[in-house]
Structure 1
Amino acid sequence: MRVVFAGTPEPAVPSLRRLLESERHEVIGVLTRPDAAAGRGRKTARSPVGQLADEHGIAVFTPQKPSDPDFLAQLTDLVPDVCPVVAYGALLPQPVLDIPRFGWINLHFSLLPAWRGAAPVQAAIAAGDEITGASTFLLDAGMDTGPVLGVATERIRDTDTTGDLLGRLASSGADLLSATLDAIEDGTAAARPQPDDGVSYAGKVTVDAARIDWTRSAAFVDRHIRSVSPAPGAWTTIGELRVKVSPVQLSQDTLAPGEIAIRKSGVHIGTGTTAVVLGDIQPQGKKLMKALDWARGARLDDTAVAR
C-alpha cells in the first residue's frame, strides 16, 4: 500500500522505521510538526521522525496546521491508500481524514478506552496500573474514540519510568501497527467499537503538575516521580533551591511530610506515610548528581525541608 506516515517525537521513530523496512508498504511521504528550537543551544531542528525521513529521501511535510489548504492539496495529489499516525501532535480535520481510502490508523500507547489523550503512559504509571499496552484504531473526529483494530499488552514493572515503558511500547507498537496495515491490505482487519465503560483520560503533563506533593503516600510519590521521568521531570524545593528529583527508593523510616534526614544510607524525605530515599537530583543550572553528595557539598542539615 501507498503510505503517508504522520508522527513527530522519538517514540514514533520505530514505527516509521518498521514501515520503511516493509516489503508490502511504500512510504511516499511523512507529515511531522514544524522544525522547532531544541537542545541547550535552542537551535532549530527537524523532528526525530523528520530526520529519519530525510535520511531515506522521503518527502516531508511540516504545515503549521494540517488544515492548511496547500498541505490538503499535496496530500490529495499523493493519493495515499492509508495514513498511519503515531504521536503526531495536532488534531487532523475531517477533510484530511477523508483523503486516504483506508483512513488514518492511529497507534496509541494504552489499552483503549483507558487513558485516551496526550499522556497515556504517564497516566498509567501514576495510577499504579499493572498492565498497559498499545492499540491501533481508526481515527475519527473524537479524542481517541475510533474503533479498535488491534492491541498489544505490556506489564508495567515496579521500577518503570515513562521513558522505560514508552521505549518498550514504541517497539512492540511498531510491530502492531505494521501487522494492522498488513491486515487492512489483506482484507482481514476487524474494527470493533470501543465500549462505553472503562473510559479514562490522560491530559498533557505540565511542569507545574510534575511538582512533588510530599503529603501523599510514599507509593504515590514513587509512582508520580517515575511517571514524569525523564520529562518534564519531578521537582521540589529545598529551602530556596529548586531541584529535579530522579526515581526514589521506599524506606521504612517515618518522617513528617517534607522532613529531610541525612544519613549514611542516603537522603531520606518524609511523605504522608513512610519516607523515601532520594537517588539522583539536579539542582537548577547544574548537572545530575547523587543526592547524598549534593547534600554534603551544600552542607544541608536536618532543618531543611522539601516543599
Structure 2
Amino acid sequence: MRVLFAGTPQVAVPSLDRIMGAGFDVVGVLTRPDAPLGRKRVLTPSPVAARAEELGLPVIKAARITDEVVAQIAAWSPDVAAIVAYGGIVPPPALSVPVHGWVNLHFSLLPAWRGAAPLQYSVIHGDEVVGATTFQLEEGLDTGPVYGTLALTPPPEATSGDLFAELAASGAELLCQTLSGIDAGRLEPRPQAGEPSFAPKLTLEDGRLDWTLPALALHRRARGVTPEPGAWTLLDGQRLKLDPPRLRPDVEGLEPGRLGWAGKALVVGTGTHALELTRVQPAGKKMMAAADWARGAGDIEGTVLG
C-alpha cells in the first residue's frame, strides 16, 4: 500500500519509522516548514523532515495545504495518508486524494480532548486513563470515525512530555496495525460515542501557577504544561520557570505563594497544603535545584511568589 506520511514534531517520528519498518511504500512526507530555533534563531528542519531526509524520502514543506500542495500529493498517488501531529488543517480537496482517506493518530481517547493539546489537558484534569486513537480524518475537528484505541494508566508524577514519549511508541504500533487492517480490507471505522471535550492550543499564560488554587490542581497543571509551554510564576516581577513541584501534604500553614523551608526542602504555600519546589530557572539563568537557588539567593524565606 502506498502511504503518504504527514507529521512535524518528534512525537511523530516513531510512527514514520514503524511504517517504514513494516514494509509499506512511503511515497512521500508532508511536514511544516523549517523553523527558527535557539538563541541565534537558526532555521532548522522539523524532526520529521530531518528523519525523512535520512531515509531518502521526498519531502513537501508547507505551512498550509494549498492547491499546489494537493497537486504534489496527488502526483504521488497515495492509497492512504497517515497523519501524526502535522500542525495544520487538511482541506477537503486533500482529504479526497488518497483512496482510503487520511488516518490520524491522535493522543487521546476520542471523543475526549479533541484539539491541539490532548495529553496536556488529560494531565491537567487528572484523567485516570489516557491513550491514543486512530481515526478517519474529516472536515470536523477530530470528529471522524474511529479505527482503534489504546489506553494506559499514567504514573502519578508523569508529565505530558513523559506520556507523549510513551504513547509515541505504542501509538506508532497502533497506527501501523490500522494501516495493515485497512490494506487487508478487514477494518472499518466506527462512529465516536460519548460527549466530547476539547483541548485547545495552550498559551504561555496557561503555564502560570495561581498559588491560591489547591495543591493537587497546581501539581496537575505543572505536569500538564511540561515541557511546553512550561510552568512558571513571578518573582519580583520577573518570570521564574519551574519544573513540576512535589505534593507535600505534611506541610501546612503557609499562605499561598509564600516560600519556606521544610527541613532542607524549599516549599511554597497553596490554597491547601504546600508544594515542594524541585528545580527553578530564574530569568537569564539555567535551570537549577530549587534549594540551591534559594540558598544562593540569600534570605528567601518569607518571599511571596506570583
Tell me if TM exceeds 0.5: yes
- Report the residue type matching 2:29 in the other structure: V
Equivalences for residues 35-184 of structure 1 within 5 A = 35-66=34-65, 68-184=66-182
Alignment partners' CA distance in 1, 2:287 and 2:87 = 29
Residue 300 and residue 232 in structure 1: after superposition, are their counterparts in 2 closer, same or farther (change >3 A)?
Answer: farther
| Identical residues among aligned pairs (%) | 47
Alignment partners' CA distance in 2, 1:64 and 1:200 = 27
User: Which sections of structure 1, spanning at least 5 residues, go unmatched?
Assistant: none
Is 2:251–2:262's contact at 8 Å kept on the other side of the alignment?
Answer: no
Match of 1:213 in 2: 210
Match of 1:279 in 2: 278
Match of 1:257 in 2: 256
Alignment partners' CA distance in 1, 2:3 and 2:242 = 42
**1:109-136 alpha-carbon deviations (Å, 9 max, x no partner):** 0000000000000000000001010000
The alignment partner of 2:130 has SS state of strand
Is 1:20–1:26's contact at 8 Å kept on the other side of the alignment?
Answer: yes
The alignment partner of 2:12 has SS state of helix
Match of 1:269 in 2: 268
Is 2:63–2:88's contact at 8 Å kept on the other side of the alignment?
Answer: no
Q: Quick check: 197-206 or 111-120, which moved more? A: 197-206
- Report the residue type matching 2:241 in the other structure: K
Is 1:36–1:44's contact at 8 Å kept on the other side of the alignment?
Answer: yes
Match of 2:292 in 1: 293
Match of 2:20 in 1: 20
**1:31-79 alpha-carbon deviations (Å, 9 max, x no partner):** 000111012321001100000000011000012310x222111111111
Q: Quick check: 158-167 or 239-248, which moved more? A: 239-248
Paired residue total: 304
Alignment partners' CA distance in 1, 2:237 and 2:61 = 42
Alignment partners' CA distance in 2, 1:220 and 1:63 = 38
Alignment partners' CA distance in 2, 1:122 and 1:300 = 35
Residue 232 and residue 300 in structure 1: after superposition, are their counterparts in 2 closer, same or farther (change >3 A)?
Answer: farther
Match of 2:192 in 1: 194
Residue 265 of structure 2 corresponds to residue 244 of structure 1: no
Alignment partners' CA distance in 2, 1:241 and 1:90 = 34
Residue 34 of structure 2 corresponds to residue 32 of structure 1: no
The alignment partner of 2:43 has SS state of strand
- Report the residue type matching 1:78 in the other structure: W
Deviation at 1:267, TM superposition (A): 1.1
The alignment partner of 2:203 has SS state of coil
Residue 9 of structure 2 corresponds to residue 4 of structure 1: no
Alignment partners' CA distance in 2, 1:267 and 1:87 = 38
- Report the residue type matching 2:10 in the other structure: E
Q: Quick check: 81-90 or 155-164, which moved more? A: 155-164
- Report the residue type matching 1:48 in the other structure: P
Deviation at 1:299, TM superposition (A): 1.1
Deviation at 1:238, TM superposition (A): 2.0
Deviation at 1:263, TM superposition (A): 4.2
- Report the residue type matching 2:240 in the other structure: V
The alignment partner of 1:304 has SS state of coil
Q: Quick check: 46-55 or 232-241, which moved more? A: 232-241
Is 1:262–1:301's contact at 8 Å kept on the other side of the alignment?
Answer: no
Taking only aligned residues, the RMSD between alpha carbons, in angstroms, comes to 1.0
Alignment partners' CA distance in 2, 1:145 and 1:189 = 18
**1:185-231 alpha-carbon deviations (Å, 9 max, x no partner):** 01111211012x33100011110111001011110111111101111
- Report the residue type matching 2:100 in the other structure: F
Runs of 4+ residues over 4 Å off in structure 1: none
